[in-house]
Homo-oligomer: A and B are copies of this chain.
Amino acid sequence: MDIATANAMTYQEFMDTFGNVVEKCPLITAAVWSKRPFDNFLQLENSVFDFIDALPTSGKQGVLRCHPDLAGRELLSGTLTAESRREQHQAGLTSLKPEERQELSQLNSSYKDKFGFPFVICAKMSEKGKILQQISERVQNSPQQELCQGIEEVKKICHLRLQDIRSLATPTSSLATPTKL
């Protein structure tokens, strides 16, 4: 997909395509619609990031809370969003041994008890061993550090989701000329 295609979308098409670039926060995509037309995908991405950065602390915590637990209840019950399911699968979290799931579940609980929001990591860029190590380390951080770190991870996830949207829906005609992000 090139940026002209995104700019030409109706509101409904735009939401159907970009509505979950930040997990379960369609409000952000609905707000970013105000910023069209975009010169390129980087500008669209930065509009999302600017919106998140301008949120008060409670709003940033809210964004983190909209994310599911890794290998948690929603994965087990099959209620993850398509994007989260794909990401958790790619990180190896859909094939954990029982003792690994147990360890991750306990670390997740400790993390949520301490910070009041779930552990968020760009799972697609990690793998299960690294995730367990990261959560063990990050649970030691201060609330302010983890708020910043969590939001950075949200942005990495958003960046990869936008990349996926662009590559999945690239019309044949634009395959020959890679579009600048």
Q: How far apart sit A29 and B58, CA to CA, in the bound complex (Å)?
A: 10
Q: Looking across the interface, which residue of chain B has its beta carbon closest to that of A55?
A: B31
Whether A65 lies near B24 (C-beta < 8 A) is no
For the residues of A in contact with B, the DSSP-based class is helix
For chain A, give the interface size range.
20 to 34
Enumerate chain A interface residues (CB-CB to B < 8 A): 11, 24-35, 51, 54-59, 61-63, 65-66, 116
Contacting residues, chain B, for A63 (C-beta < 8 A) = 27, 30
A85-B174 Cα distance, complex, nearest whole Å: 42
**Copies of this chain, how many?**
2
Contact A66 B27 (CB under 8 A): yes
Q: Which of B32, B54, B62 contacts A27 (CB 8 A)?
A: B62
Measured in the bound complex, the distance between the Cα atoms of B28 and A26 in whole Å is 11
User: A27-B27, A34-B58, A34-B61 are known contacts; what are 6 more A-B pairs with Cβ within 8 Å?
Assistant: A25-B26, A27-B28, A31-B55, A31-B61, A35-B58, A54-B56
Residues in B whose Cβ lies below 8 Å from that of A31: 55-56, 58-59, 61-62
